[in-house]
Structure 1
Amino acid sequence: KDARIALNALEMATLATPPDADGKRHISLPTIEDAVQHRALRYDKAGEQHYDIISALHKSLRGSDPDASLYWLVRMLEAGEDPLYIARRLVRFASEDVGMADPQALVVAMAAQQAVHFIGMPEGNLALAEAVVYLATAPKSNSLYQAYSRVQKEIKYGSSESVPLHLRNPVTPLMKDIGYGKGYKYAHDYPEHFVEQQNLPDSLQGRRYYTPSDQGYEKQIMARLKAWWA
């Protein structure tokens, strides 16, 4: 990464130096230092602009704008941003803002991360670009994020109910004698491999944490859940 930054600075210094009468460019150390400083001013990885641009990328992805998303991605990469940092943000976005509307989004984001890790940069830049375009043009849903937040809140405010006996695994004869596993219905023994039974603790029966949206693959999920749990 440092070598790439140095090469970029050298290129900037070369472009900033006019050729002499023989067409040669004489690059001085001060010119290179100025180029490095100019580059640092354009993008400070530890400063405000770092967070502004990653925020712009995230919001452009959420806004389904592939052109703006690519612009902010390339801005970061060309400034020397850690590509794995970007990849991690794309993985998070795939789950948080696309989610079950297109489960393949997470696969694509993880594949981009693996590609960057495997072949490095700059060759890995197109893998990140591919992931960015895929995520920007994918159907959006935050229902998975909302579902997790609902359960998290439930647990935070005191819900730590016992596991119903029929869901417990009777690993010893004594456990079986006191009712572990008793009455459990094995779904594969029923038509369409589904059977309605209690899976939440008694006090939480009827809770609905996950509500699919009407976007993308979640339409199929919604129809399936209605057929099972109507």
Structure 2
Amino acid sequence: MSEPLAERLRPRTLDEYVGQKHLVGEGAVLRKMIDAGRISSFILWGPPGVGKTTLAQIIANKLQTPFYTLSAVTSGVKDVRDVIERAKNGRFFSSNSPILFIDEIHRFSKSQQDSLLGAVERGVVTLIGATTENPSFEVIRPLLSRCQVYVLKSLEKEDLEELLHRAVSTDIELKKRHIELRQTDAMLRFSGGDARKLLNILELVVEAESGDDVVITDDKVVDRLQQNPLAYDKGGDMHYDIISAFIKSIRGSDPDAALYWMARMIEAGEDPQFIARRIVISAAEDIGLANPNALLLANAAFDAVMKIGWPEGRIPLAEAVVYLATSPKSNSAYCGINDALALVRETGNQPVPLHLRNAPTSLMKNLGYHDGYKYSHDYPGNFVEQQYMPDVLTDRRIWHAQHSPVEEKSYQQMLRCWGKRFEE
């Protein structure tokens, strides 16, 4: 039986590698390290099918160093220690450190990650981790501090088209057929920037044709995928599409759809922590000040899942999802922090007004630090008008209320305090 097309086309060199020019293009950071013949430990963060595993293998081949691989799904602490021991015993003094590649490193427990620390620190192995999750949430701080994090992007349309044409023109099996890529939009759309998914679709459509002449059109691709909807989603690659639908259903106040998409994730074996984390994010981003209790309930649901586990954890998650979907919505805090960050980037490090500065030393007091500051609690209503923004930004507004019943109370309080400054 022949290997899958995606495996047959796996690049062996950087010249064959498609995409990620910001990392491996001429003059890019990883390319420079590889060409210099020495790399430090790093983590590759990006969606499925963008070349994380392939890149690690190419680096090992280029550096001609032993390459060990572990899957966080199936490996335990003992497996990690066994590999480290083999790497230690098999290393020559003049060679680079063996590479230990850990796929889905975000699934490693704290104890598993702890077992890596010493070997990475001493250079027994060079760690390359691959993850689809934000490493700052999933990788312990001591290990993360010893690794660079490189972000891989979904493949662009040009990358995917290059991959398709390479497949039909160079693959030993596909060259036996006469394949015409008359239309490719449907394949590109269904792939979602995932090279493996794209090649799975191509292989499915070609194998469904009986003759040697194969003409690929958008209609044919859609028809084949409707007949076999999971064929292009081996291993749960719809992950990002479904979580997107889930969040948008909560934001759109549709509890039925939100529960449905969560059920799809549960049935697919999604990590409960992943679901719970997205619910917490949604509570802050989409419900926000319209119902501040939403964040409390979402956080409580997260804690409950951690305490009671699965499958009972689905119940507090469902409670939180329905509550969020049926709550009034406001993203004023989300927009506010984004606007504040944009303002900081635009205006740079503006000085803190002197009256707001702390004055722990006599020198600072002599320089006027803290001089003129008015303590709010000394005034009626615990408010007194004074300048809090930097001098050049005194007239800039950042937070804009969205006037839901709860948020309106906050807005009216600002009007009472600041008057015209907060009039919309």
Q: TM-score range by the shorter chain?
A: 0.7 to 0.9
CA RMSD of aligned residues (A): 1.8
Matched with 1:57 is: 246
Which protein has the bigger strand share? 2
The percentage of counterpart residues that share the same residue type is 52
Distance 1:44 1:138, change over 3 A: farther
Query: Which 4+ runs in 1 deviate beyond 4 A?
Result: 40-46
Is 2:344 the partner of 1:155?
A: yes
Note if contact 2:236-2:268 (Cα within 8 Å) is conserved in structure 1. no
Note if contact 1:43-1:50 (Cα within 8 Å) is conserved in structure 2. no
| Aligned residue among 75, 80, 88 for 2:264 | 75
Is 2:327 the partner of 1:138?
A: yes
Matched with 1:189 is: 378
Matched with 2:50 is: none
| Aligned residue among 282, 290, 308 for 1:101 | 290
1:160 is matched by which residue type in structure 2?
A: N
Matched with 2:313 is: 124
Instruction: State how far apart, in whole Å, the 2-side matches of 1:42 and 1:114 are.
Output: 35
SS of the residue 1:180 aligns to: coil
Instruction: State how far apart, in whole Å, the 1-side matches of 2:264 and 2:239 are.
Output: 10
Distance 1:189 1:128, change over 3 A: same
Note if contact 1:45-1:81 (Cα within 8 Å) is conserved in structure 2. no
Q: Which has the higher contact order (CA 8 A, sep 6+)?
A: 1
Which protein has the bigger helix share? 1
Note if contact 2:289-2:333 (Cα within 8 Å) is conserved in structure 1. yes
Query: What's the offset of the Cα at 1:180?
Result: 0.7
Matched with 1:227 is: 416
Query: What's the offset of the Cα at 1:202?
Result: 0.6
Query: What's the offset of the Cα at 1:160?
Result: 1.2
Instruction: State how far apart, in whole Å, the 1-side matches of 2:333 and 2:231 are.
Output: 39
Query: What's the offset of the Cα at 1:78?
Result: 2.0
Note if contact 2:279-2:321 (Cα within 8 Å) is conserved in structure 1. yes
Structure 2 unmatched runs, 5+: 1-72, 74-227, 420-424
Is 2:405 the partner of 1:201?
A: no
Distance 1:58 1:44, change over 3 A: farther
| Aligned residue among 169, 174, 183 for 2:358 | 169
Distance 1:43 1:103, change over 3 A: farther
CA deviation vs aligned residue, 1:85-105 (integer Å, no higher than 9, x gap): 011111111111111111111
Matched with 1:17 is: none
Structure 1 unmatched runs, 5+: 3-37
Distance 1:46 1:78, change over 3 A: closer
TM-score under structure 2 length normalisation: 0.44
